[in-house]
Amino acid sequence: MNEFQIFIDQLQKELSEHFGNSYRVTVTETEKNNGAVRYGVMISDGKTNLSPTVYLEELYRQYTEGKTLCEVMGEVIRIYEGTKAEKKVDVRFLTDFSRIRDRIVYRLFGYESNRRRFAGVPHIRFLDMVLVCYLILGDETAEDAAVLVTAGLCRLWGIDGETLFDLAERNTPRLFPVRLLDMRSLTGQKESYMYVVTNQKAMYGAGCILYPGVPEQFAEKTDSSFYILPSSVHEMLLIPDRLPFCAEKFGGIVREMNRRYVEPTEILTDSVYYYDKEKEKILLLDNSENL
């Protein structure tokens, strides 16, 4: 048994003793982006049918750096108390398509690393990426406030994949408006060499590059075609082609960022993309080593 598992077992035991027999403390395993598995604890008091999951990886890191188990447990309790539902939630609304149709959005992920996860899930391939749909339940910034839309849910709602993605294409820009950041504000440079495109929530904003009109408007703004570097599932870096960058380095830069700075669950792809202003099309650059 590894140290992380020992930590989980001890934490579950201490939480169970703290809350007593009227509560249930369970350990969860959830598959996330790129096949990564995250571990968490769910605390249920029996009064509600929805319980928040408190993920443990960051808390374990704090534990290894000196926090006591008692302090970690206190943090779990604080998170639980701040996010728990006070009463049972009527989940029958999930079956009422008229009530949820305006809450369906899409998110962008890498395809190969999620092939198994999205098998049987309605999706659209885009280059070496994939679009899948989620139903937003409440607070758009909460990690567990979205439900992956499966083929089973589509059958329950009586819709096909085309209808699903038509709704997502309308809803996503409305619920998560695009945000374009000029990196001059961070670098202090006089000329703009790099921009960040994300959404107003800075959550799963990489898909903003696919919003209708977004790449065209950026090309018009900079009067150039541009490179697209995926820095995470949350954002893309945009670099105008007319500016003095060593484009052949971009592939290595993306891979380095992904290996050193991006959480495994937040990596989009290692690829580099290019928006051709004349063709009005996003292209996958096959060999990022030699652009």
Q: What would the two tokens of residue 108 be? A: 């962008």
- On the CB side of 23, how many CA atoms lie within 13 Å of its CA? 20
- Integer CA distances (angstroms), 106 to 71, 97, 103, 174, 181, in order: 38, 17, 10, 12, 22
Q: How far is CA 269 from the centre of its chain?
A: 13
**Burial class of residue 215, CB neighbours in 10 A (0-12, 13-18, 19+):** buried
* Closest-CA residue to 209 (of 285, 271, 126, 265): 126
List own/partner pairs for 5-10 with CB under 8 A and 24 or more apart. 7/56, 7/60, 7/63, 7/69, 8/39, 8/41, 8/56, 10/69
Return the pLDDT at 229.
96
pTM: 0.81
Q: pLDDT tens track of the chain, all 291 residues?
A: 589 999 999 999 999 999 898 888 999 988 888 888 889 998 887 766 567 788 999 999 999 999 999 999 999 988 888 766 555 556 677 788 998 999 999 999 999 999 999 988 999 999 999 999 999 986 544 554 788 999 999 999 999 999 999 999 999 999 999 999 987 766 666 666 889 999 999 999 999 999 999 999 999 999 999 999 999 999 999 999 976 666 778 889 999 999 999 998 899 999 999 999 999 999 998 654 433
- How far is residue 289's CA from residue 230's CA, in Å, rounded to a whole number? 15
- How far is residue 38's CA from residue 11's CA, in Å, rounded to a whole number? 16
b/e sequence 162-197, b meaning 16+ C-beta within 10 Å? ebbbebbbebbbebbebeebebeeeeeeeebebbbb
* Maximum C-alpha span of the chain: 67
* Closest-CA residue to 132 (of 204, 212, 228, 232): 204
Q: Is 19 helix (H, G, I), strand (E, B) or coil?
A: helix
